[in-house]
Structure 1
Amino acid sequence: MQWGKNIGRWTSLVAFSWLIAGCATTAQMLPQYEAKFRAGDFKGAKEVSKGVSNDILWSLQEATALQMQKEYAASIQTFDGVDSAFKKYDEQLLLGSAAQNVGAVLINDTIMDYEGMTYDKVMTNTYKAMNFMLLNDHANARVEFNRALERQKMAQEYFEKEIAIQEKKIAEEKAQNQQKNITVGQSKEADSIIAQNYKFLDAYEKYPNFNNPFVNYMAGLYFLKMKDYQKAVDMLKEAYGMTKNPLIEHDLNVCLNALSGKVDAKTYAHIIYESGYASKKKDWKIALPIPIRHSNHWQVYMPSLALPTLEPVLDEVPYINIVNGDFKSSTFKIASMDGVIASEFEKRFPAILTRAIMRTTTDLVLQKIAADKGNVLAQVGVGLVGVLKNNSDVRSWQSLPKNFSALKVPLSNGVLEIYDAQGRLLVSDSVDVSKNYIYVVRTYNTQGGVYYDKVAF
């Protein structure tokens, strides 16, 4: 009976703690941030982000808002803090030790610190590089592009180590359950339900091994402009291999020609266009048949599992039109951030599903044990904890764009103009036709809201 009293008190306390946990705050803040970002109130978006201190997710959101205000030095500083946290986490994985999230099997992911996806880490270095580039700090821009590429290269190794630690923790939990005469069986019906409901992932453009073609292309383009043609060739080859994109192929050939002594003397502006907003993670509840054996008795339960899913966001301004002199053309897609996100989501989902089943079945068995002992308080406490835990982790860096597009513009006129698909003038900017440029452009709503900046080479 002492056990029943203790578990009753413990579960009630934990339930109350979860009830007031910060995950509710995050759920409230995400729509606030999105509304201000879409309205072009980047100062307001930054203030929302600063409401949570020492948090990787909100530091990423803050750094993006600072970037959109052209506060590049402050954006870099904020990204630096995030990057340091990522490095610490990666070092733990390489040493074979589990960071808190990796080891959390029975604890709900939503109350753990956000430690970032692989694409978060790669894009952190990429955006730092672009910030340095726009500040004309080319020494640091080069360093950050190299770091982004190295992080992308190492991503598969880090992932395999992370999964190995998770599998070890899950095996330990299963062994503990077996000591309590608890066994979770396999259900082909449950497998079929999951497979049917996650077919939507097939519609996403996928990339292998955590690669993001935009990162390779952006780095390759930068090194092309810096006349480091051999380095550019290496990056552009990788980007082209993933996309077969004709613009990337053209830039690759420019570099190959330059290495053979045929340097193009004309000047160009490369337009990098970020459009839309990346897919959102959504909480999805599903009842799955799960057979559980306790004390040599099998019983099929139909618990409600909370699993994350992806919800695409419409790309409302998928391209922009560029005019310079007699030249007029539209940007076209070179990479999909949605595809990068979906590729990683698909890789991580089996472990997410396993942990969700483990949490739910453990709660069910604890309730059954409490019921068998006639301890109503413990039964209610465990049930309440289960309800509060039954939410999936839907946190994500939601200010990331949906797609990356590009265009190469031959310069013949001192004014470069950018229009949306409806013919509305978004930007009219002066250029020196004797120089080469990289423009970075992003639309953030359909009312003509646009960010842009450029760097001359």
Structure 2
Amino acid sequence: MRYSKSLLLVSTCGLVFLGCAHKSGADLDKFSQNYYTQQHQKADALSKELIAKDKKQRDASLWNLENGVNAFMAGNYKDSLNTLDKANKTFDTNWKNMEKGLAKVGAATFGSATNVPYEGHMYEWTLTNYYMALDYAFMDKFNEARVEFNRTVDRQRRIKEAYAKQIAKVNAEMEKAKKKDGNKAQGMEKSMKGLDQELSKRYSSLEQFKAYDGFINVLTNL
């Protein structure tokens, strides 16, 4: 299987990533501004500075991912690989927590935003491999790139299964509630419809959970 560098470059143009800021959304906003204005050196310095300041490495995985993607866009493929590998190992360790997070919306939402480590979102787990594959491809190491692309596809499969499992669980609970008490089931549906509004009122940090403008998840088509 051969890869066209021009095709790979086009595939990355619309691909950007999401992050949640535990202490302040200002850091992500500043990083995003530098990233999108192609001031990659400034974005690199900022992310490394934040990692260095994070003594307990609570958000290191987030900033390693951000830094790795930025390094790729700057053409620093070796640096990108090294940084993404660090994020990748953390996401591997936190996979079970990410899976559990589907049922509880996410620890950083309901817990103390300043004390909960950033464990990552499931699709970020796949992004590490996706960009590592691109790094290898642009370094003409196509065998290594193929391995990372295959890992990306496998992780997409596992994420799909995790979501399908959770959706099936919720549907089963709804059907059980309908059979047991129709009024209660209706109440549950109303509660779910008002969930976003209620969360916004109670947790101001939710405003920091947002995708970058123009987000396209090209991984869904792999």
Q: Normalization by structure 1: what TM-score?
A: 0.32
Deviations 1:64-106 (A, max 9, x none): 1111111001101111111111111225678xx889x878498
Question: Which secondary structure state, in structure 2, belongs to the residue aligned with residue 44 of structure 1?
Answer: helix
2:149 is the counterpart of 1:145: yes
Can you give the 5+ residue segments of structure 2 that lack an aligned partner in the other structure?
1-20, 52-56, 170-185
**Alignment RMSD:** 3.9
For 1:85, the equivalent position in structure 2 comes to 90
Aligned: 1:43 with 2:44: no
Unaligned runs of 5+ in 1: 1-21, 166-184, 195-283, 287-304, 308-355, 361-388, 405-457
- Which residue number corresponds to residue 52 of structure 1? 50
Q: How does 1:175-190 map to 2 (within 5 A)?
A: 186=187
C-alpha distance in 2, partners of 1:130/1:81? 16
Tell which has more relative contact order, 1 or 2 (C-alpha 8 A, sep 6+): 2
Q: For 1:72, which of 68, 77, 97 is the aligned residue?
A: 77
CA contact (8 A) 1:109 1:393 kept: no
Q: 1:121 to 1:38 in 2, by over 3 A?
A: same
Identity of aligned pairs, percent? 22
Amino acid at match of 2:27: M
Show the counterpart of 1:306.
Answer: 199
Alignment of 1:121-132 (within 5 A): 121-132=125-136
1:275-315, Cα deviation, whole Å (9 max, x unpaired): xxxxxxxxx7x3xxxxxxxxxxxxxxxxxx334xxxxxxxx
Pick the structure with more helix per residue.
2
1:37 Cα deviation (Å)? 1.5
Which is strand-richer, 1 or 2? 1
* Residue deviations 1:216-240 (CA, integer Å, cap 9, x gap): xxxxxxxxxxxxxxxxxxxxxxxxx
Task: Name which one, 1 or 2, has greater alpha-carbon Rg.
Answer: 1
Aligned equivalents of 2:211 and 2:81: distance in 1? 16
AA at the equivalent of 2:22: C
| 2:140 match | 136
Taking the aligned partners of 2:210 and 2:120, their CA distance within structure 1 comes to 8
Please give the per-residue CA displacement for 1:404-436, whole angstroms capped at 9, x wherever unaligned: 6xxxxxxxxxxxxxxxxxxxxxxxxxxxxxxxx
Does residue 132 of structure 2 align to residue 108 of structure 1? no
Give 1:117 deviation, angstroms. 2.2
Shift of 1:156: 2.6
| 8 Å CA contact retained: 2:31, 2:43 | yes
What is the Cα deviation at residue 150 of structure 1?
A: 0.7
